[in-house]
Amino acid sequence: MKRCVIVSIYKNDKLDYVKEALNSLYNQTLKADIFIKIDGEIDKNLQKFLLSEKKQGNIKYLDKREENKGLAISLNELIQKGLKKGYEYFFRMDADDIALPNRFEKQLAYLSEHPDVDVVGGAIEEFGEGIDYHKIIRYPLEHEDMYAFFAKRVPLAHVSVVYRASFFAKAGLYPTQSSTNEDTLMWMQGFANGCRFANVPDVVVLVRVSSDFFGRRGGFPKAWSDFKDRLQVIRILGYNTTAYVYAMAVLGVNLAPPWLKKILYLRLR
């Protein structure tokens, strides 16, 4: 059973956070090979650290691209590398998050018990880095409930998922036309092409939330991009008019100032 975890690292990633993330992978009760793509120029100390980890055998595959091209392209390259090498399971992980020690074991056990499921996520626990913030986010557990939930919001946390190779055979790789919603469009492709979805009920990843988190979620270009992607999901998956109304409401939230967005995010998400 060959399994890997795919991680993209870019210029904003910090050495201390990457160390925490990798240590959480090293300490899993069930191990997975680590595949990393360096997406453009990064901090020299971080690059030196990654090269050292690769030399010690802690990182199975490490590749650097000189030009930053974005998360979707990086993940697609790592997936293609893994598929060529015969990997059957692909875990997602961000370079500043922390996987709980039994994450891989729990999710692989679920997939073993549910051979029809192509991708499984889990609950996440967000924690503030430099801000007073803490929230556990849970998602629907069963495929049908997740499809219904997707009419309003994404039905699983991108950083929490593990894919079977069968998911990519059915749905393809990450869409690259959106700079911010590669996961939303990936789930759309999955549902549209007969993939089966699930979530485990447990928290599997601790997600770091920085002080600029709510500010980065604002601005008209990103809000409009999110809105257009949401309209595509509604159209492709055949949701009703209520989904359009909710999409308009989310557009309003995304255009709100950061202080108001934080309040709404805590109450409504």
Q: Which CATH architecture has domain 3-211?
A: Alpha-Beta Complex (3.90)
What residues does each domain of the chain span? 3-211, 213-269
Q: Cα angle vertex 88, ends 76, 153, to 5°?
A: 55
Instruction: Report d(CA 143, CA 117) in Å as an integer.
Output: 9
Query: Residue 186: how many CB atoms within 10 A of its CB?
Result: 25
Specify the 3-state DSSP secondary structure of 188. Answer: helix
Contact 95, 18 (CB under 8 A): yes
Instruction: Report d(CA 46, CA 221) in Å as an integer.
Output: 31
The pair of three-digit structure tokens given for residue 162, joined into one six-digit string: 């593990």
In 3D space, the residue among 158, 161, 145 whose CA is nearest the CA of residue 185 turns out to be 158
pLDDT digits (tens, 9 = 90+) for 57-111: 999 999 999 999 999 999 999 999 999 999 999 999 999 999 999 999 999 999 9
In 3D space, the residue among 155, 151, 142, 145 whose CA is nearest the CA of residue 238 turns out to be 151
User: pLDDT tens string for the chain (269 positions)?
Assistant: 899 999 999 999 999 999 999 999 999 999 999 999 999 999 999 999 999 999 999 999 999 999 999 999 999 999 999 999 999 999 999 999 999 999 999 999 999 999 999 999 999 999 988 788 889 999 999 999 999 999 999 999 999 999 999 999 999 999 998 878 999 999 999 999 999 999 999 999 999 987 665 555 557 788 888 899 999 999 999 999 999 998 998 888 777 766 565 655 655 55
Instruction: Report d(CA 206, CA 34) in Å as an integer.
Output: 18
In 3D space, the residue among 148, 156, 154, 118 whose CA is nearest the CA of residue 242 turns out to be 148
In this predicted structure, what is the pLDDT of residue 183?
95
List the beta strands (DSSP E) in the chain. 3-9, 33-39, 61-65, 89-92, 98-99, 119-129, 134-137, 162-164, 197-210
